[in-house]
A and B are shown apart, each in its own frame.
Chain A
Amino acid sequence: MNHDDNNVLWRVLCWNVRALNSDTKRGPVKAKIVEANCDIIYLQETKTETFNELFLKIFCPAGFTSFFFKSAIGTAGGLITIWKSSKFSGKVIDVSDFALTIELQSLHNGDSWILSNIYAHSFREGKIEFLSWFESFFVTQNKTWLVAGDFNLIRKKW
Chain B
Amino acid sequence: MLMSLFNEAISATCLIEIPLLGRKYTWTNNQTPPLLERLDWFFSSVNWSAAFPNTFATSLVRDTSDHSPCVISISTTQPRSNVFIFANVWLEHRDFKEEVEKAWLTMVNASDKARKLTAKFKILREAQKDWSGKNPHLQLQ
Chain A residues at the B interface, C-beta cutoff of 8 Å: 1-5, 7-18, 25, 28-29, 32, 35-38, 113, 124, 127-128, 131, 134-135, 138-158
Contacts and interface: CB of A to CB of B under 8 A. Distances in A.
A138 B13 contact: yes
18 contacts: A1-B82, A3-B56, A7-B79, A14-B69, A15-B67, A16-B67, A28-B63, A37-B71, A128-B5, A142-B46, A144-B47, A147-B45, A148-B18, A151-B39, A152-B39, A153-B3, A155-B38, A155-B41
Interface string B82-99: 100000000000000000
A13 B71 contact: yes
Interface string B17-48: 01001001001000000001111111111111
B118 interface: no
A35 B59 CA distance: 11
B71 A12 contact: yes
A4 B73 CA distance: 8
B48 A144 contact: yes
B39 A153 contact: yes
B117 interface: no
Nearest to B67: A16
B42 A9 contact: no
Given A8-B74, A15-B65, A140-B13, A153 B58 contact: no
A134 B37 CA distance: 21
B3 A156 contact: yes
Nearest to A133: B9
A142 B79 CA distance: 26
Given A14-B42, A157-B3, A29 B77 contact: no
Pairs of residues from A and B, 8 with the lowest C-beta to C-beta distance, nearest first: A16-B67, A138-B13, A145-B45, A15-B69, A18-B65, A148-B42, A12-B72, A135-B9
Contacts of A37: 71
A24 to B, nearest CB: 8
